[in-house]
Chains A and B, each alone.
Chain A
Amino acid sequence: TQLLEQSPQFLSIQEGENLTVYCNSSSVFSSLQWYRQEPGEGPVLLVTVVTGGEVKKLKRLTFQFGDARKDSSLHITAAQPGDTGLYLCAGYGGGSNYKLTFGKGTLLTVNP
């Protein structure tokens, strides 16, 4: 069973601060996705990383896939209240492992 552990579970910061959340596994994933979920809504895809060591930037968000494709991080620069939400990572096994497995998420609150 492929498990994804996300940390921290909860994070409360002030507007303008930087933060990093982590997604770790003992398993290798073919690709890894990050989603953001707001209350009462379904998760929304932010990015997909596929190559070990890959870094992708989306405005103030920077995503990195670990060299061994077992872990990933999401860094947010100058957080804004609109960044508040549940951040979920999801790993795709690849090959004949079709499952898309989600971590439990990091609940981020950015206070004005």
Chain B
Amino acid sequence: DSGVTQTPKHLITATGQRVTLRCSPRSGDLSVYWYQQSLDQGLQFLIQYYNGEERAKGNILERFSAQQFPDLHSELNLSSLELGDSALYFCASSPSGTGFFGTEAFFGQGTRLTVV
């Protein structure tokens, strides 16, 4: 058990809909990362938050947004869903998100999103 909790574990929704994925980081970790994993693209970095502030952005679509709340949990919002958005979405947390060991990431079990 990594200490990172993601909900829901599975999500099936229709095209055009909006969903929210939730992540609770490890106790004490200030940094949260979101990744999308598909068979052909591997783990794609979406976005990173540190202590409530956006710190780094990857290839995140404009239809996607995220935030980190004062209690450090994070949510990833996906809207106007398309078939191609079907993937595993992982949340990871790390102590600080900087430095050699502060970036060591602990992953949740992921949310498997299926868009039909």
Contact = CB atoms under 8 A, between A and B. Distances in A.
B92 A42 contact: yes
Given A100-B33, A103-B42, A92 B103 contact: yes
B110 interface: yes
B48 A44 contact: no
Interface residues of B, number: 28
Q: Which of B35, B55, B105 has the most CB of A within 10 A?
A: B105
B35 A102 contact: yes
Interface in B13-65: 33, 35, 41-43, 45, 48, 50, 55-56, 58
A42 B110 contact: yes
A50 B2 contact: no
Contacts of A105: 42-43
Size class of the A contact interface (CB-based, 8 Å): 20 to 34
A101 B42 CA distance: 11
A90 interface: yes
A36 to B, nearest CB: 11
20 contacts: A31-B100, A31-B101, A40-B110, A42-B90, A42-B107, A43-B92, A44-B2, A44-B107, A88-B42, A97-B56, A98-B50, A99-B45, A99-B48, A100-B45, A100-B48, A100-B103, A102-B35, A104-B41, A104-B43, A105-B43
The 7 closest A-B pairs by CB, nearest first: A42-B107, A104-B42, A102-B43, A98-B56, A50-B100, A31-B100, A92-B103
